[in-house]
Amino acid sequence: MLTGRASGILLHPTSLPGPFGSGDFGSDAYRFIDWLATAGQTYWQILPLGETGPGNSPYMSSSAFAGNVLLIDLVELSNHGWLNNEDLTPNPNFQSDRVDYLLVRPFRMERLLRAAKKFFSSGNIDMLRSYTEYCNRQDEWLDDYALFMTIAEREINSVWSHWPNELSRREPHALGKIREDCSDKIGFWKFCQWCFDRQWSQLKLYANKHGVRIIGDIPIFVAYQSADVWAHQELFDLDENGCPTVVAGVPPDYFSETGQLWGNPLYRWDAHEASHYAWWIARLRNALQQADLVRIDHFRGFVAYWEVPANATNAIDGKWVAGPGEKLFDAFEKAFPLMPIIAEDLGLITPDVIELRDKFRLPGMRILQFAFGEGDENLFLPHNYVPNTVAYTGTHDNDTILGWWNTLSGHERFFVQSYLKTDGQNIHWEMMSAISKSKANIVIFTMQDVLGLSGNHRMNFPGHDTGSWEWRFSLKQLLSEYTQALAKMSLRDDRNHGYI
């Protein structure tokens, strides 16, 4: 339940400035937090912090628990003596406005390997103790993750069900041999997660001390090629060979005429219920260690999800199947009484979805770009917002406001101009102002809209396999007039009180 007014910015850490081809937890992340505080913003909303998967999507991670090692600040590693000055010479082909993962990934991974080797040979007792303590605290998932990443690399990244049977079926003697033969590589992956955890914890602490709270993101589904599915096969809908029989998607919608075929394995909810939802509770606990509250993606999938045959080429021929509903959220409420969850209640929303959201007093989402063209009763129009709401100009899946505006029909433009009483010359600020004035207790602006950028700068284009998740900005783009405008808007609309 949201009880106070505030605003914030949606920006994934990969989009931050920085010298090494992609944003990370380095000095520019701290500068961004300083800017948020100066601009009167209380929230920094991020995308999932996990490893990126196919298409570089953070929603298809190799682990629901592990962090993206490409976000590790290399300068901090050099401060410990694990990298030298030569290691910090950027690739001259790095781009300041795009993440070129084909360049960034090998550059960063090579330096992480060097840092791990130096760390383990350093003999620094205090740091080695910190590393060991971290491994012991996280052993519920870390050992499986490190094994999975090690085997996946050794098996040339073939899907885990194609590994030798003794490995795909997790026979103890086979896993023991991997631990013995590949101890250095297993240690490397654990070292990376320790570094990620140390650096993100420090950055989050800095944010909190400066009045900024973190909104995290939990994808409802996990990638098939992940440590979670491999290590907990009994929790997923797989056949005797470990292959999915059905996969996740969504029916035809605003984004796609053929629906979206996500391809994630689906859950055996009866198995989760039998375990009292232990895996889900551990997952949410991990997310709440990284963030102050979390958005759960595709909330409607907990009521009913779109099940598609595993061999389908699109999502048209799927069907709705009942999810766990309130049983899961009863378990969440027992484990986390304050329920710091935002429900991503977008898509085809039926009354039972609203009933589940409201039963647990979860704030829902409203997207202003969805508001125009259906009359004044449209729930996405600001005058229809309720306080327990998080309102957005757009999400990571939407076009920027300027990109959206330039593709509207004449009828839609007329509706927007009439509703906002604007000529459209500053449409991005007019739309930001409209949600800021609303009753929604939290409003979130995308960084692209603050900067007034065109559709060429959107973060994700659903249904497109390439070109997404690459956008970056420069601190030089943060003009003082933008900072002042946000601060004034926050003050005007009573959204400048810090923590909510």
Residue 431 φ/ψ region, left for φ over 0, alpha for ψ in the -120 to 50 degree band, beta for the rest: alpha
The residues with which 304 forms a beta bridge, in sequence order, are 322
- 276-286 residues labelled b (16+ CB within 10 A) or e (exposed): ebebbbebbeb
Helix 278-290 crosses helix 326-335 at what angle (to 10 degrees)?
50
Closest to 360 (Cα-Cα) out of 270, 299, 447: 299
* Residues involved in catalysis: 297, 344, 397
Rounded Cα distance, 12 and 70, in Å: 13
Which residues make Cβ contacts (< 8 Å) with residue 249, sequence separation at least 6?
259, 260, 261, 262, 263, 306, 308, 315, 318
Rounded Cα distance, 282 and 279, in Å: 5
> C-alpha dihedral over 466, 50, 128, 134, to 10 degrees?
-170
Rounded Cα distance, 119 and 103, in Å: 25
Residue 256 φ/ψ region, left for φ over 0, alpha for ψ in the -120 to 50 degree band, beta for the rest: beta
167 contacts 159 by C-beta, under 8 angstroms = no
- DSSP state, residue 382: G
Closest to 486 (Cα-Cα) out of 456, 440, 443: 443
Rounded Cα distance, 99 and 57, in Å: 12
Helix/strand number for the chain, H first, E second: 18, 12
For 310-382, strand residue ranges (E) read: 319-322, 341-343, 364-367
Rounded Cα distance, 15 and 201, in Å: 19
- DSSP state, residue 260: E
Closest to 200 (Cα-Cα) out of 263, 267, 292: 292
